[in-house]
Amino acid sequence: MLNRRQFLLSTIFGAGYVGLRTLATGLPASLLLNPRKAFADGSTPPCAGKAQFVIFNTSGAGDPINANVPGTYLDPKITHSTDPTMIATPLTIGGQTYTAAAPWATLPGSVLDRTGFFHLMTNTPVHPKEPDVLKLMETTKSDEMFPSVLAKQLAPCLGTIQTQPITLGAASPSEGLTYGGQALPIIPALALKATLTNAPGALTDLQALRDQTLNQLYDLYKNGATPAQQAYVDSLVTSQREVRSIRQDLLNQLASIQDNTPASQILAAVTLIQMKVTPVIAIHIPFGGDNHRDIALAAETAQTVSGVATIAALMAQLATAGLTDQVTFLSLSVFGRTLGPTNTDGRQHNPNHQVSIAIGKPWKGGVYGALAPVAGDYGALPIDSKTGQGTMSGDIPAVQTLSSFGKTALAALGTDPAVISDQILAGQVIQGALA
């Protein structure tokens, strides 16, 4: 247990637990790791731009999230749950009225106005292909997983302790993430709680660690930094009072985790963001799962209701933590489900249609892409890259909508266009989805 705890601490806080010193002092890890170089280079001012932390919801089950969102109520032949809690309901996004299952209409207008629903094609009906979908079906450079592509671009600007994403909620091996081709550990919410709150816990000695670290930097700070660099460091240094508040707040949050449910995952994710551990955190919110024999679509109904409620809870927690404008929520599943009129007691795998969701400040709320009858069921249409409209004449072919979603996310989060083209080798940015 001790070895596992040490492993998790080093995973979360890096070699030498530099992340704890970052948390205790407010200073970036790059400065603490090599202060002489940081001062020689002009210290480490924060990046300008749109970089955000990302909470990344992914599922290898192929959830029927694509069956109940805006854009799927235009064709009366599409099957929806008949449960009263899922009744077709109007909702307004960015001043435009759409129709969706009732749970989506419960999201606050301020959230919906920042929510994009993307009708995409993953081009696979196979559960174990989830890692390939996370590589945007082999369109990322060096077959890097999309969450890792995001993390590499965001970490320098956010000043996180580590670049590698952290996975909290993988429900199957296919949902595990890799970074540079290497598998990343899965850290369930309960393991995070046990690692950080057990006495003596990693968070209990932050004040002493703050004072020790600042004392070690003092001579170099006074004699090796310019007045401008000293002012920059002073602006970042966390006071003892703030450290006490940070420690207690984080301990209270972590102590309230009782299981590994989606609610606990989002609480753990928000805590990791407050600690600036990583730019990308993967979770799993069920939205119906692999529902081949879902009588009257009961599981789809229950999990859609609970899934949307979990998203609403996440947005509320971000608001309470003052993180509303600093975090983007993204979702991507291995595939969607079939939508035709025969799907009343379960749905089959649909390689032609999956819906991804993006919520955050960089996004213009709306519906991007559309669907039409394809191969005996329904599939995603091509997308017009300028407007985001789904149309047969769109310049983004259906098979490139997945990689285009990846490019659009990078653009929304402030990545240079040349880097986007280098990292994702197909598709186009959907300009109409950007705020």
Taking only the tens of pLDDT, the chain with its 435 residues reads 446 667 777 777 776 678 788 888 888 877 888 888 877 777 655 565 789 999 999 999 999 999 999 999 999 999 999 999 999 999 999 999 999 999 999 999 999 999 999 999 999 999 999 999 999 999 999 999 999 999 999 998 888 888 999 999 998 889 999 999 999 999 999 998 888 876 566 677 788 888 888 998 888 888 888 888 888 888 888 888 888 777 778 888 888 999 999 999 999 999 999 888 899 999 999 999 999 999 999 999 999 999 999 999 999 999 999 999 999 999 999 999 999 999 999 999 999 999 999 999 999 999 999 999 998 999 999 999 999 999 999 999 999 999 999 999 999 999 999 999 999 999 999 999 999
31: containing domain: 1-45+201-259
Last residue of a domain, one of 220, 237, 259: 259
Rounded (to 5) percent helix, strand, coil in the chain: 45, 15, 40
Which residue from 338, 329, 332 is spatially nearest to 310, judged by alpha carbons? 329
Is 350:377 a contact under the CB 8 Å cutoff? yes
Does residue 319 sit in the same domain as residue 397? yes
Q: How many domains does the chain have?
A: 2
Distance CA 231, CA 219 (A): 15
Is 52:328 a contact under the CB 8 Å cutoff? yes
Which residue from 387, 432, 392 is spatially nearest to 412, judged by alpha carbons? 432
Residue 123: half-sphere exposure toward Cβ, Cα within 13 Å: 16
Does residue 54 sit in the same domain as residue 24? no
Does residue 412 sit in the same domain as residue 312? yes
Does residue 6 sit in the same domain as residue 55? no
Residue 194 within a domain: no
DSSP string, 33-77: H-HHHHHHTT--PPPPS---EEEEEEESS--GGGGSSTTSSSSTT
Does residue 36 sit in the same domain as residue 73? no
Does residue 129 sit in the same domain as residue 230? no
CATH of the domain at 362: 3.40.720
Does residue 181 sit in the same domain as residue 211? no
The structure's pTM equals 0.91
Does residue 7 sit in the same domain as residue 149? no
> DSSP secondary-structure letter at 279?
S
Residue 196 within a domain: no
Does residue 62 sit in the same domain as residue 119? yes
Is 58:357 a contact under the CB 8 Å cutoff? no
Residue 343 within a domain: yes
Residue 195 within a domain: no
Residue 73 within a domain: yes
Does residue 77 sit in the same domain as residue 222? no
